[in-house]
Structure 1
Amino acid sequence: MLTSRGVTRITRRAINTKKPSALFSTVAPALSRATLPAAGKPRQSANARPLQRPSILIRFFRAARTYATESKAAVGSVKTVIGAVVDVQFDNENLPPILNALEVQDFSGGRLVLEVASHLGENSVRTIAMDGTEGLVRGTKVIDTGAPILVPVGHATLGRIMNVIGEPIDERGPIKGVKMLPIHADPPPFVDQSTTAEVLETGIKVVDLLAPYARGGKIGLFGGAGVGKTVLIQELINNVAKAHGGFSIFCGVGERTREGNDLYHEMIETGVINLEGESKVALVFGQMNEPPGARARVALTGLTIAEYFRDEEGQDVLLFIDNIFRFTQAGSEVSALLGRIPSARFMSQPFAVAQVFTGYEGKLVPLKDTIRSFKEILSGQHDSVPESAFYMSGTIEDVKAKAEQLAKEMSGN
């Protein structure tokens, strides 16, 4: 729960797991405090404490976006389209920073947003599309927005269904009069967080008795398909909305369209979503049929909405991600599309029993050499060594010798 007295922070990294799971995540506030809601009426949180360090609050919001940076709108054109990966060529050296959002102009498929993933050189950047690229052709005009992806936040998002770029997909019209925030931001520093441990009362007997949820903590619901993970999430949203008066943000990462539709109508029936008045939940979906870029970023969209209620309104907020396995899967797909598959070549080692098959003599590597070698690799001392030199080598000295041999062979040719 994004509470006004949390104990931990949420990171923007997926939780490594190989089982399908739903994540119930809670986040500590930047500062425990009473704040003014959007309507301007003072609202005192039940557990709020006086603001002791206003300078920290100022620094926190000034540094809200540190990953992407504002820049002048550069104009480029599509150079290459390979599925969800789009290379964009710019006319000058004013390249957009990493994680900036680019918008494709005059695209027949509607609004298409690209997120900068890497700089390729020669005034080109490689981007990941947040929607389908069918119909996109070379030469199409692309404009740098000068900022990362911006999404709407605030009370106007409650009761609405949005996609990864904050556009409503519930056919209830645009979301008007809202503040826009970037999806990339730093978490609050540990020094600004409360260390008081509290239990969140969920109203579910088996949870409160056997596995109580801590305010400001993270909870993972692990289980196979069809065992009731999403059902439990729906009950938690309903109970917290009625018992605590807090808000909930539901992120459907890789959800089936049918599941999202059923969830929406069930929330209307239970009163969590009120089509005529204020609702208690906002829904953000990156569905199963969408590109990996959308599925990998939709959790950050939901997190941005939740952080607004936590930081600027002092509200208690629950953030649900269903499910975290598809979130990590989307991240793996994006890495594969960008060619960032991590190397495991140095983990290979010639075995004596396999010499007849590999042609390499077996190597026994002492533990000290293994630890030293990996420390040197992680520190970047061997970044200049070709990747092929790490394959079927023992110690790092063997790798260096193999690299020298490969260099001689290349120079001889």
Structure 2
Amino acid sequence: MATPSASISAPEDAPADWPVIGQITAVHGPVAVMRCDKLPPLRQALCAPIAGERCLFEVHQHLDEHHVRAITLHSTSGLSRGMAVHDTGAPLHVPVDPSCLGRLLNIFGEPLDGGPPLPATHYRNIHGEPVALEDAIATGSVLETGIKVIDLLCPFIRGGKTGLFGGAGVGKTVLIMEFMHAVATLHEGVSVFAGIGERIREAHELWQEMDQAGVMPQTAMLFGQMDESPGVRFRVGLSALTYAEYLRDTMQKEVLFVMDNIFRYAQAGSEVSSLLGRMPATVGYQPTLTTEVAELQDRIQTTRQGSITAVQAVYVPADDMTDPAVNAILSHLDTTVILSRAQAAKGIYPAVDPLQSTSKLMDKYTLGDRHYQIAEGVREHFSRYRELEDIIAMLGIEELSPQDRQVVMRTRKLERYLTQPFAVTTAHTGIAGVSVPLSDTLDDCEAFLRGNYDDLPEERCYMRGSLKGGQP
């Protein structure tokens, strides 16, 4: 852990303590070309004073023996040729402290919530190295969330990576908040939220909703907003991951690391690459796309001190799952949760598509024979129901065979049973949230498949907890 004498986020006594390394010779939007007497290393943080403020840069290219290209991490308004550039002496660091929980921070670890700054005692480099191979622990055990459809059909893997695919209005943010609530209550863990390219309005609403839901005291939130430099959007995910690693290593707790939206991270990398003059690759993306995604993903690891479980919201451009950025992200995911607009339109919340959502570790060795068999049985019922929907729409359910009619009725009840009121929406809906243990979910679904609830009305299955436990 680095403990430099001066904060890279420009403390009061800087830049007097930082030597002048050169001057700005050209500015192209968020890219600055600098002439330096001695070339700083790549990823070094440089600083230029502007009217009492300080503009930070990150070195990305060496052009020749005296010139570098750097991406600004602040607004470039006020930059001009001939301005002196100071060397901070290190890459970008953030102050780390347990008091980061409950706070809103920016890429530099500076407060956005009007509170006091974090103690300037310990710092970590945002470009940390992945955990050494001998220190990493393989993923395998299921991380229960208390959300029936997730735990049954696409379970979270402790220390794994989950992709949450969904458009606007299908409940992506609510599901993310419920994950944070579950980690805090069920596992006594903490959460780190990275808002990459968030709209200012969305960030403020999320902060308020999480505060009302009681999730904020165990959560640190970092935002690189949509109106900021692409360098900020490109690096804020690494800053947030640095805090997640710190909480894992020092508090030895379950850490939930949430990114919304990781596709904007890839987009920001594409902007930076174009500004640096690199030749674009497939579909206009940067040639370093795969490396940049891997640099972020490979640091999400479980160690002997604790685990980081990642949930990443992924925007799919034009619903094209073959998009290079989506493919680069998909290759790292253990679990894929697809939120369906059709499910949301029917009032099925969480609007998880039971057939498209799955996990790479969905096998009997990881889950056990019973869980695997019940999950497959539920999927078979949903699959058959989808096949029969067109026949029902044209001819009516009366034209089906008795066996198919039975499958349809059981599937409709299962679909409603897999809905669930959330704790984080109680203030809006007036319905108390419930958390259902995986054992109860398995018992209930097994009873549905056996026909034990064939006489139960469909409305009795909707928006409730466990049938076995008698929860409302």
Q: Output the CA distance in 1 between the equivalents of 2:164 and 2:204.
A: 22
How far the C-alpha of 1:313 sits from its partner, in A, is 3.3
Deviations 1:340-381 (A, max 9, x none): 133579xxxxxxxxxxxxxxxxxxxxxxxxxxxxxxxxxxxx
SS of residue matched to 1:254: strand
Q: Secondary structure at the match of 1:121?
A: coil
* Separation (CA, whole Å) in 1 of partners of 2:93 and 2:139: 33
CA separation in 2, counterparts of 1:239 and 1:304?
22
Deviation track 1:144-179 (CA, whole Å, cap 9, x = no partner) reads: 111110112221211111111222111113222442
Aligned to 1:317: 255
Residue from 98, 101, 118 that aligns with 2:42: 98
Deviation string 1:74-118 (CA, Å, 9 cap, x unpaired) is: 52111111100011112x2x221000101112x137331100001
State the partner residue of 1:129: 72
Specify the code of the residue in structure 2 equivalent to 1:151.
Answer: V
TM superposition shift of 1:206:
1.2
Output aligned runs, 1:321-360, within 5 Å: 321-342=259-280
Q: What amino acid maps onto 1:300 in structure 2?
A: L
Distance 2:122 2:273 in 1: 32
| CA distance in 2 between partners of 1:74 and 1:119 (Å) | 18
Question: Is 1:87 matched with 2:87?
Answer: no
Please give the root-mean-square deviation of Cα atoms over the aligned residues, in Å.
1.9
Q: Normalized against structure 1, the TM-score is what? A: 0.62
**Aligned-pair CA distance for 1:196:** 5.3
Q: Which of 130, 141, 160 lines up with 1:217 in the alignment?
A: 160
- Alignment-derived partner of residue 401 in structure 1: none
For the 8 Å contact 2:139–2:160, the answer to whether it is kept is: no
For the Cα contact (< 8 Å) 1:156–1:178, is it kept in 2? no
1:201-259 per-residue CA deviation (whole Å, 9 max, x = no partner) reads 11111111111000011000012222221221111111211221111000000111111
* Residue type of the alignment partner of 1:98: L
Superimposed CA distance per residue, residues 32-87 of structure 1 (whole angstroms, 9 cap, x where no aligned partner): xxxxxxxxxxxxxxxxxxxxxxxxxxxxx79xxxxxxxxx9452111111100011
Partners of 1:151 and 1:183 within 8 A in 2: yes
Q: State the distance in 2 between where 1:117 and 1:243 align.
A: 43
Q: In structure 2, how many angstroms separate the alpha carbons of the residues matched to 1:341 and 1:288?
A: 25
From 245, 252, 267, the equivalent of 2:195 is 252
Deviation at 1:272, TM superposition (A): 1.9
In structure 1, C-alpha distance between the alignment counterparts of 2:99 and 2:132, rounded to whole Å: 29
1:283 to partner: Cα distance: 0.5
TM superposition shift of 1:303: 0.4
Q: TM-score, normalised by structure 2?
A: 0.54
Percent identical pairs in the alignment equals 50
How far the C-alpha of 1:339 sits from its partner, in A, is 1.0
The one of 16, 24, 38 equivalent to 1:78 is 24
Which position in structure 1 is the counterpart of 2:101? 158
Hey, what does 1:12 align to over in structure 2? none
After TM superposition, the structure 1 stretch with the greater mean CA deviation from structure 2, 186-195 or 233-242, is 186-195
Q: 1:199 to 1:220 in 2, by over 3 A?
A: same
Shift of 1:317: 0.7
The 8 Å contact of residues 109 and 135 in structure 1, kept in 2 or not, is answered as no
Give yes or no for contact 1:249–1:282 (8 Å, CA) kept in 2. yes
Corresponding residue to 1:228 among 160, 171, 177: 171
Gaps of 5+ in 2: 3-17, 284-472
Query: Alignment partner of 2:264: what SS?
Result: helix
Corresponding residue SS for 1:299: helix
Given residue 118 of structure 2, which amino acid in structure 1 is its aligned partner? I
Q: In the alignment, which residue of structure 2 is the partner of 1:280?
A: 218
Give SS of 1:206's match.
helix
Flag structure 1 segments of 5+ consecutive residues without an equivalent.
Answer: 1-60, 63-71, 274-278, 346-413
Higher relative contact order (CA 8 A, sep 6+): 1
Shift of 1:299: 0.1
Which residue, 103, 113, 138 being the options, matches 1:195?
138
Note the C-alpha offset of 1:121: 1.3
In structure 2, distance between residues paired with 1:268 and 1:309: 20
Alignment partner for residue 236 of structure 2, among 271, 291, 298?
A: 298
> Is the Cα contact below 8 Å between 2:105 and 2:222 reproduced in 1?
yes
Secondary structure (helix, strand or coil) at the match of 2:91 reads: coil
Higher helix proportion: 2
CA distance in structure 2 between the aligned counterparts of 1:109 and 1:129, rounded to whole angstroms: 17
- Alignment-derived partner of residue 352 in structure 2: none
